[in-house]
Amino acid sequence: MTDQEVVFLTKSPVELYKILKFENLAASGGEAKYLIADGLVRVNGAVETRKRKKIYPGDVVELNGICLEIRMAGAADPAGG
């Protein structure tokens, strides 16, 4: 089962390891980099091993059954909500 969460960015792009750290999927930046290097993180469905991979609105980041949908803060919600 996958938990889906929406993450709103105030600036874009953001490095992958920072998303994991700020969303508390990793206790520290070092742990986030370790998780990425071990191939445990997916971006848009593909394993991502670049810790400084740039993440943009529209990307989906997955780790341990948690799926983060990345959006830009202040952007209109296409669902109308």
Q: Which of 31, 34, 27, 32 is nearest to 14 (CA)?
A: 32
Supply the pLDDT for residue 3: 84
Cα-only R_g, the chain = 12
Supply the pLDDT for residue 35: 98
* Strands annotated E in 1-81: 3-9, 14-15, 41-43, 46-47, 54-55, 60-63, 66-72
> In the CATH scheme, what is the homologous superfamily, with its name and number, of domain 3-72?
RNA-binding S4 domain (3.10.290.10)
Please give the average pLDDT of every successive group of 10 residues along the chain, which has 81 residues: 84 95 95 97 98 96 96 69 47
0.95 cut: is pTM over it?
no
Cα separation, 29 vs 7, in Å, equals 18
Q: Domain-by-domain residue ranges, the chain?
A: 3-72
Supply the pLDDT for residue 81: 47
